[in-house]
Amino acid sequence: MNNRNDALFIAYMRAFEESSKHTAVCVECQDGDACAEGDPIHAEFHGLQDAWTKKARVEGKKP
Ligand SMILES: [Zn+2]
């Protein structure tokens, strides 16, 4: 794993943490209906998850 991948992975893990942390205290987001505050947090996480999954696939690694 090179440094560029590490940076992406760290950002992805950080976004996952933020998204989980918000969902833990937000009933709307727990119901799968993202609130105004949670929406950008979850969107960032999903974007980074996509980027990471694609990169891992291109490089022949498991996501
Ligand atoms: Zn929320």
Of 32, 3, 38, give the one whose Cα is nearest residue 18. Answer: 38
Q: pLDDT digit string (tens) for 19-59?
A: 999 999 999 999 999 999 999 999 999 999 999 999 888 88
53 part of a folded domain? yes
Counting the structural domains of the chain, the total is: 1
The two structure tokens encoding residue 60: 């022949």
Q: Give the 3-state secondary structure percentages of the chain, helix then strand then coil, rounded to 5.
A: 75, 0, 25
Q: Rounded mean pLDDT of 2-24?
A: 90
62 part of a folded domain? no
State the Cα angle at 62 between 8 and 6, rounded to 5°.
20
Question: Domain residues for 31?
Answer: 3-57
Ligand 1 (single-atom ion) residues, CB below 5 Å: 26, 28-29, 35, 38
- What is the 26 CA–ligand 1 centroid distance (Å)? 5
pLDDT of residue 59: 86
pLDDT of residue 56: 86
- What is the 44 CA–ligand 1 centroid distance (Å)? 14
